[in-house]
Structure 1
């Protein structure tokens, strides 16, 4: 099992979310992690938004990996969000985003967290993987794709 499989569960996958902006996506991520981790949604939103102000976390090809450091978080946590309608994300290729992997890491991030970001970037650079994620019918299908990609 790889790092991504350890931080992603079916209840951390939102498919076909109706959100009109980065701000709305970050609000939904905050609510999701508040329910899952008991962390205050405002601190999650603030962390994601602050990181985004430093530069877009959009990778291109309709993908973004918003991430933030969270005080009091013990281990990394992730969520996959697939949007109903693409939103602008200031990605390098100018394309709007439909797939996001939201990554939260402890305030004192370690090499492991950089490894997770690297692994995500590598997976999302694979066109076939992106297309399968876009077409996954449910959360179980998304999890299976991440699990299969590591073998």
Structure 2
């Protein structure tokens, strides 16, 4: 599995206005609607429901919000880079400025977990995250994210 199989170029954005986790989820819902055809309100509710089970802020400024949606056919993602980090309630209590949201069908088992593991491993690379943080062009962000072909889950 490659990131390019779950992330479309149009699902990569730079946000300047997100001021809270809920606002970030609303922005992700809007991107999910325009890029993937997801229903914004259902997307936000699903992300908030999942977040109530435990924080998806994994540390070092990275969050991996994820949810299962009945309207999703395949695992897909939305990547956002925040110009200004927000308090996310991450495990290391550091503000978040990188969020990769994953959406999976309700009955997705292994594929959802493989995608989550792939994204997690990719964004654990501090050099890659630094490269992402130094670019505000969504096209360049997509290229940076999808370039590392060595990071794969089979």
Aligned residues: 150
1:66 maps onto 2:65 in alignment? yes
Q: Given that residues 69 and 106 in structure 1 are in contact (C-alpha distance below 8 angstroms), is that contact kept between their aligned partners in structure 2?
A: yes
Deviates further, 76-85 or 51-60? 76-85
**Shift of residue 147, structure 1, vs aligned partner:** 2.2
Q: Between Structure 1 and Structure 2, which shows a larger proportion of helix residues?
A: 1
Alpha carbons of 1:17 and 1:58: their partners in 2 closer, same or farther (altered >3 Å)?
same
Alignment match, 2:31: 32
CA distance in 2, matches of 1:55, 1:110: 19
Query: Unpaired segments of 5 or more residues in structure 1?
Result: none
Q: Given that residues 8 and 77 in structure 1 are in contact (C-alpha distance below 8 angstroms), is that contact kept between their aligned partners in structure 2?
A: yes
Q: TM-score, normalised by structure 1?
A: 0.93
**Shift of residue 72, structure 1, vs aligned partner:** 2.1
Q: TM-score, normalised by structure 2?
A: 0.91
Alignment match, 2:11: 12
Alignment match, 1:48: 47
